[in-house]
Amino acid sequence: MNFTSLGYRTDLMLLQLSGSVLTDQGDYVVVRTPANPTFWWGNYLLFRTPFAPGDAVAREAIFRQEFPAAKHLALGLDTVDGVVGSEDEVKALGLEIDRNTVMTAREVREPARPNLTSQYRDLSSDDDWEQLLDLSLACATMTVDEEYREFSRRRIEAERGLCGAGHARWFGAFDGERLQASLGLASDGSGVARFQNVQTRPEDRNQGIASTLVHRASRYGFDELGAHTLVMVADPGYLAIRIYRALGFDDNEVQLGTGRAPATS
């Protein structure tokens, strides 16, 4: 399958490496992650074109046919310019529109304010990975309920599996044995490596940890993995994007997704 969006192309690369299944239906691709059914962006439809008039209702119906048990709704667009199409119709259905910035780097600069206090190493022990779950929950931007905990646990199991299979490395910054920050870098050997889940505990932010961690992982990607392009997907409204730009990542395209979270009772 060919995809226009570098963001989705690398997303799907990682999902397939961790066991997700892609089915090409012509106008759209069905993405399924049986091991994590409540993973919204592991169970979604990726359409090849923006919304034409009438598509919003029709595409929601297609999603319900493909995922009859799903409580969420997630529709991606394989485009690069952030144009939704019939945006008013999409919003009328109560769908949120997410525009993320896909960034690339072919070289990186040293961080302006490196952190030399923390220790930097791979996650290796069961305790390290358990701490990654705690870190992910501490950094969550949504309500952490039991369903979200289970989704997070299964996602981290998949990430650990990618590392065990040699497709990824998960890096951590530690204060002694306490995990302060983490990220993943994964590749299928094609020369493109994708960053995943750059996270820093709230109490450990503004110390140069994230920029140092991203730089060290980037050097691994270029020097040891042999990647020619590093890919980072970032929220354009969040301050971390400035860190990536300072290290040498350039804005490349807009990754566009629409969806609706499960209704809360």
Eight-state DSSP code of residue 69: T
pLDDT reported for residue 88: 97
Burial 175-214 (b: 16+ CB within 10 A, else e): eeeebbbbbbbbbeeeebbbbbebbbbeebeebbbbbbbb
| DSSP helix/strand/coil, 36 | coil
Task: Give the model confidence (pLDDT) of 68-92 as tens digits.
Answer: 999 999 999 999 999 999 999 999 9
pLDDT reported for residue 54: 96
Give all domains of the chain, ordered by start, each with its CATH number: 6-102+256-260 (no CATH), 119-247 (3.40.630.30)
Separation CA 41–CA 156 (nearest Å): 15
Task: Give the model confidence (pLDDT) of 113-126 as tens digits.
Answer: 999 999 999 999 99
pLDDT reported for residue 242: 95
pLDDT reported for residue 107: 97
pLDDT reported for residue 141: 85
pLDDT reported for residue 264: 64
Sheet holding 73-77, edge to edge: 21-24, 28-32, 44-47, 73-77, 250-260, 96-105, 229-234, 192-200, 178-187, 168-175, 119-122
Contact 47, 257 (CB under 8 A): no
- pLDDT of 153 > 90? The answer is yes
Averaged pLDDT for residues 33-48: 96
Q: What is the pTM for the complete model shown? A: 0.95
Task: Give the model confidence (pLDDT) of 196-241 as tens digits.
Answer: 999 999 999 999 999 999 999 999 999 999 999 999 999 999 999 9
Separation CA 80–CA 102 (nearest Å): 9
Task: Give the model confidence (pLDDT) of 135-151 as tens digits.
Answer: 999 999 888 899 999 99
| Of 242, 158, 225, residue with least CA distance to 197 | 158
The pLDDT mean for the chain works out to 96
| DSSP helix/strand/coil, 254 | strand
- pLDDT of 265 > 80? The answer is no
